[in-house]
Structure formats: C-alpha cells, structure tokens
Structure 1
C-alpha cells in the first residue's frame, strides 16, 4: 500500500481495553488507502485553544477497507496516550495521517520463514503481520517471541493463545510469570533468544519491535548468534 501525507478525519467506532493500561481503538477513516502489515500512522489531536499534539502509533490492522485499528498504551506523564486510553469516546473524531513506513512490513509474497520478537506494546505491528499471514494462508513459517512484564500486561493475549492462535507464540516474562512458566522472570538473554527463536540456519526474516533499549539489545544479540543483520528489521516505539 502507498503512504499518505494528507490528514484525514477518523471516527472512533469501537474500543476495548487490552490491559489495565492499554486500549484497542478502531477508527473509520473515509478515504483510507489501506496499509501493509507493520506500517504506522500519525494521530493529531487539537485542543479547544488550538494547541495541537502529534504522535505516531503502530497499526494492528492491514489491507483494504476504511477500518484502522491501533493499540495505545497509557504512558506516565503522557500528553496524548492518556487521552486516547481514558477519554476518547465512541463517535469522537481524531485526525490521522498515513500509512507511514515501508521498511518494517511483511508481505504475503515473501516465502522466507519469519521470526517476530516483541517487547511490551511493540507487539502491535506484529499482530498485524500475524493476522495478514493467516488471512493469506501463507505457507511461510511464522512464529512470535513475546516479552512482557507480566501475563496481565500482554496485549492481544487471548488472540495469541490457544490451539486456534494464528501463529506459534512463545511467552517470556520480565517481572512476574505464571506458576507453570519455566524459569524465573528476567530480561531476555542470549540463551533465551537462541532457544526460543528460529536458528540462523533457517535464514529467517526477523522483525523486532519494542522500546529502544530492548530492540537494540535483541538486534545485537541476534547478530552474535549468527543471524545476518541485513535480515533483521527493527522498529522502535515511543511517544506519549
């Protein structure tokens, strides 16, 4: 899908909480050109006094149609995310610009194995890839390693869990874990990445998304483990 630089008005038509601090938002956006899985969008909010704030958010949706889904995590001292999570109501409007980004995307004509690695809300664009992979009935193997603080902090957990889940998901926890989870909560280590992701011999295309420190550490470690750095695509999220 091509990118777009014009601002379009989107109306919130559906919303649901994904965790205590994160919310899925589905906007109907007239004129939306569609997007590839992995792209993002800018959102602009305008206050009554004319003050404007713009932030970027990854899209959980992809393909044609006017529906645009994103997931927003409320950040401490945030300027935009608290309003989107706590205050935006069904029928309210926001301005959206996009889709943006052409590098961090997965397309159905790619036949290489795919390893997805997410930290926290960095799972959002990877969910778009997983959904698109399932819709296309792609034969390319795809699996996800999802690092979350606790099970309750994991976004789209129900969708990613169970025998009907559209991709194989391996869970990792950094602060608290279920009783039946092996090991102790910790940050991802080189051994974790070696044991829980596809080996370099399979030559996977790797997508890593999350906080800057997480993404940089994972990317460096994957290179040390023997993965081709040119096959690792990274996306850092931020904005408040």
Structure 2
C-alpha cells in the first residue's frame, strides 16, 4: 500500500544564515517518519486573501531517530515569490505548511558501498550536503562551484569534515572571484572533473545538482569521460 503524503504544520525551531543570501530553517514536523539524503519537501504559503504559492526545497539534514529535525537551506532570489519570505520574514516559532519527504531517484542510501562523486552548482549543494552528513566510511568527493568564496554555503563545516572525517575530499571552483592561491576564476570543465572526481573504472555513484545548464554540462562531461549514464543522477532547480 502506498503511503499518502499529507500536509503538516511544521514549527520553525531555529534559523541561521549560511551566506548573505542563503538561510537555513530548522523545522519540527509533527509525525515526521524520516527522510533519505537527496529528498525534498513541498512548502505551501497561503496569503490572507487566499492566494496560495507552493515550492519544492531540498532537505539539507541527515535524519536519525536522535536527530529528527528537518533542515532546509533556502537561497533567496530577489524576484522569487516564496524564497524572500522564507529568508527574510520567517522567524523562530512560526508555522509553515510542509509536505514530504518526496523523491526516490536522486537519493543516496547508506547501504551503497561505491565511491560517491558529488557535483554542485550554487545552492545545488543542499541535497548533496545531506548525503555528506549521512555518510559513514564511504569515500566521497565533492566538486562545488560558486561565484565567490562568500557564496559557498557550509564552507566551514565542509572544511571541518574534511579534517575530521577521512575519505571526504572537497574541491571548490570559483566562477567570478577566486581567493588568493586558488588560481583564476573558471567553470567546471573536463580537467576539473578528471582531476578531482573519481576514475570511471572505480564505478562511482555520481550526483549532479544545480541550474539546468550547469547540470547538463557536468553530466555530459561525466559520460564523455566514461562514466556509465546509469550511475549519473541529476537534479535541476525549479522556481523560487
């Protein structure tokens, strides 16, 4: 029997800024039975006049019975209909309608034993961060493309995890302004993935998330390098 996903009134229990334009909401969702890394939720906002706006947001947190909260990291788009409200208006104690968890394709399970290659463009890092937070001893590599160092969400946490958790490697790519010693700004290309990803003969599970053009380019490069298309899973942004 298929379990029906229903709307629930979640309570915001904490908020924090990841960058100047990306904010994490920590939610207590009544009756939440857990989620897999890579899944998302729908959020529904209803105005006083009855107008309804609905968007999907990836879950940033790993789940366990001892850590049942749901964390969403929202990237503000100035012309967005929902994201500015979630980043600039919502406060601790507010209620938000949530439905989920949703999605069974773009997910990583801790029973998977293959090496993992994560490729993120901008806020596409959010579902990939859930995978990193859920990993045990599996070898992970993250290639993370952002405009500037200030745009990198979870940067300090990622560096801490690299230091403290053997088997995790993170490589930042800066497209507009790179820090000193990082070379000239560039976009993810064949050389980047060849140098900082896994060789195809390792048969890694690959996850790519970001804007449509970014995802298509990265996925095409992976296949051109010899990665099996069946091992390349992609997710693209929607509206905000």
Normalised TM-score (structure 1) = 0.94
Once residues 211 and 204 of structure 2 are traced to their aligned partners in structure 1, the CA distance between those partners, rounded to angstroms, is 22
Partner of 2:58: 58
Deviation, structure 1 residue 165? 5.7
Partner of 2:92: 90
Per the alignment, do residues 4 and 34 of structure 1 end up closer, same or farther by CA in structure 2, a change over 3 Å counting?
A: farther
Per the alignment, do residues 4 and 38 of structure 1 end up closer, same or farther by CA in structure 2, a change over 3 Å counting?
A: farther
Q: Check the 8 A contact 2:206/2:232 in 1, yes or no.
A: yes
Once residues 142 and 120 of structure 2 are traced to their aligned partners in structure 1, the CA distance between those partners, rounded to angstroms, is 8
Once residues 192 and 144 of structure 1 are traced to their aligned partners in structure 2, the CA distance between those partners, rounded to angstroms, is 11
Per the alignment, do residues 175 and 165 of structure 1 end up closer, same or farther by CA in structure 2, a change over 3 Å counting?
A: farther
Partner of 2:172: 171
Deviation, structure 1 residue 157? 0.8
Matches within 5 A, 1:157-236: 157-162=155-160, 163-164=163-164, 167-181=168-182, 183-236=183-236
Partner of 2:143: 145
Partner of 1:114: 116
Partner of 2:80: 78
Once residues 170 and 29 of structure 2 are traced to their aligned partners in structure 1, the CA distance between those partners, rounded to angstroms, is 31
Once residues 23 and 130 of structure 2 are traced to their aligned partners in structure 1, the CA distance between those partners, rounded to angstroms, is 16
Partner of 1:14: 14
SS at match of 1:60: coil
Deviation, structure 1 residue 113? 0.6
Once residues 92 and 237 of structure 2 are traced to their aligned partners in structure 1, the CA distance between those partners, rounded to angstroms, is 26
Once residues 165 and 150 of structure 2 are traced to their aligned partners in structure 1, the CA distance between those partners, rounded to angstroms, is 18
When the two structures are aligned, how many residues end up with a matched partner? 234
SS at match of 1:121: helix
Per the alignment, do residues 174 and 3 of structure 1 end up closer, same or farther by CA in structure 2, a change over 3 Å counting?
A: farther
Partner of 1:128: 130
Partner of 2:42: 42
Once residues 116 and 185 of structure 2 are traced to their aligned partners in structure 1, the CA distance between those partners, rounded to angstroms, is 26
Deviation, structure 1 residue 164? 2.6
Once residues 53 and 62 of structure 1 are traced to their aligned partners in structure 2, the CA distance between those partners, rounded to angstroms, is 27
Normalised TM-score (structure 2) = 0.94
SS at match of 1:161: helix
Gaps of 5+ in 2: none
Runs (4+) of structure 1 exceeding 6 A deviation are none
Instruction: Compute the RMSD of aligned alpha carbons.
Output: 1.4
SS at match of 1:26: strand
Once residues 62 and 34 of structure 2 are traced to their aligned partners in structure 1, the CA distance between those partners, rounded to angstroms, is 7
